[in-house]
Amino acid sequence: MLTLLVTNVMSCQISSNIISETNFYNIKINNIPLHDIVTTNGDRQQLRDLIPAFIIESNIDPDGEFSYYSYDGFKIGFSRNLGTIDNPILGGFEITKNNWNLTIQGTTITIGDDISALGNVVFNTMRSGDKSIIYQYCHGCNNFIYVYFDQNTNLITEIGFIEQT
């Protein structure tokens, strides 16, 4: 799904909600700031210390190019190809269950919530015609938070982060 989203979003002009860089990195997942997650650089022990949930699956490439961790309803990956061997960067995450939440500028949302909880937002129309909500700290930034929702019910179906570099 992560690859499909990147392809779908990258093939069109992104309409996004611009927030400050400080607010962007203060977005929280289960009350953990994105900045803190980013600074783990994908280190398994640091993630365990930061995110008090059981890692269901992990895959750490023996060549050190990527690390991937899966929790119940939350997946996260880091890439040394996007960053450097000494400084891998967050490549993406996905929230797919309501036991995880995202807090953005004081508003907390989770899977199954109505998008109206986000207030007045700019909608992004993807190549498929589906709509999403994108948060970035600058137009043309390579990373963003996305919120997918069911077009018929306006209920949130997926929340995630993409680094496109």
| Between residues 93 and 13, the one the model is more confident about | 93
Contact 126, 135 (CB under 8 A): no
* Confidence check: pLDDT of 1 > 50: no
Contact 154, 131 (CB under 8 A): no
Nearest residue to 101 (alpha-carbon basis) of 159, 150, 40? 159
* Confidence check: pLDDT of 15 > 70: yes
* Confidence check: pLDDT of 95 > 70: yes
In tens, the pLDDT along 27-74 reads: 999 999 999 999 999 988 999 999 989 889 888 887 778 899 999 999
Distance of CA 79 to the CA centre of its chain: 14
In tens, the pLDDT along 117-156 reads: 999 999 999 999 999 999 999 988 889 999 999 999 999 9
In the prediction, which pLDDT does 83 show?
66
pTM above 0.85, yes or no: yes
Contact 31, 123 (CB under 8 A): no
- Alpha carbon of 28 to those of 65, 66, 94, 160: distances in Å? 26, 23, 13, 12
Nearest residue to 147 (alpha-carbon basis) of 105, 107, 102? 102
